Amino acid sequence: MSKQHEFPTIAPGIDDSEELNRKASKEEVARGEYTKVTTLSFDEVDSANKPL
């Protein structure tokens, strides 16, 4: 039986952008060894100062 985590975990010291954007292989998907990753990005442009 595979061990399931109740909360997200990440190994310290990995290159987040490289590791989290790597696609799972077909074999990993078949074994259920993959994680769906969603990226949230904040746009710092202040639209209040833009002309309409």
pLDDT of residue 38: 82
First to last CA, the chain: 58
pLDDT of residue 6: 74
Over residues 1-52, the pLDDT tens digits come to 556 667 767 666 666 677 777 888 999 999 998 888 887 888 777 766 666 6
Give dist(CA 39, CA 20) in Å, integer: 9
Give dist(CA 10, CA 23) in Å, integer: 16
pLDDT of residue 39: 78
DSSP reduced 3-state for 13: coil
pLDDT of residue 44: 77
Helices vs. strands in the chain: H and E counts, helices first: 2, 0
